Amino acid sequence: MHSLRNSPSEKGLLSQEESNPNEVNRTVTRIISHPNYNSITKDNDICLLKLSSPVNFTDYILPVCLAASGSTFYNGTDTWVTGWGTIGSGVPLPSPQNLMEVEVPVVGNRQCNCENGVGSITDNMMCAGLNAGGKDSCQGDSGGPLVSKQSSRWILAGVVSWGYGCADPNLPGVYTRVSQYENWINKSLLH
């Protein structure tokens, strides 16, 4: 888990190099890490960030709904990942470093376990990517959102966690399955 305390948190940021008139900055004042996070297996790779002050929603900054406990994202469900990570193994994001997005289908845990090594994908994880490769989250995207559109609502299905390589065939990206953490999130918000 990366150190985020006192790190800036930008909302509405589309480019890391150009002016962003809709950008709002906050400082991370508290990090609530999952107590059962395993740095070796990456199980429970999730944390909550408390910001220095509330963020007002605008046309450019909107909340995403969290996947409820028991939510299922079936094999083949379309999802989208956004981030500023590399765009290929060792290939940095080119100038002007605009926020990137990619559409990737969900890959079932059974298949993903076969591809990543039996036992490596827990019930707290989910996978997304193309069997042919070519589309994936990448290094530097960790902690970013994996969302699915259901009717007119965006649902946070996963959080970018880990993977072997980047956009390689038969090696989908691995994400923390948000629906497994509804109770933990709600309890953490009370403290």
Mind telling me the catalytic residues? 2, 45, 142-143
Cα gap 125→27, rounded to integer Å: 28
| 32: its two tokens | 């609530």
Residue 27: CB atoms within 10 A of its CB come to: 14
Q: What is the DSSP-derived secondary structure letter of residue 87?
A: S
Classify each residue of 57-78 as buried b or exposed e, where b means 16 or more C-beta atoms within 10 Å of its C-beta: eeeeeeeeebbeeebebeeebe
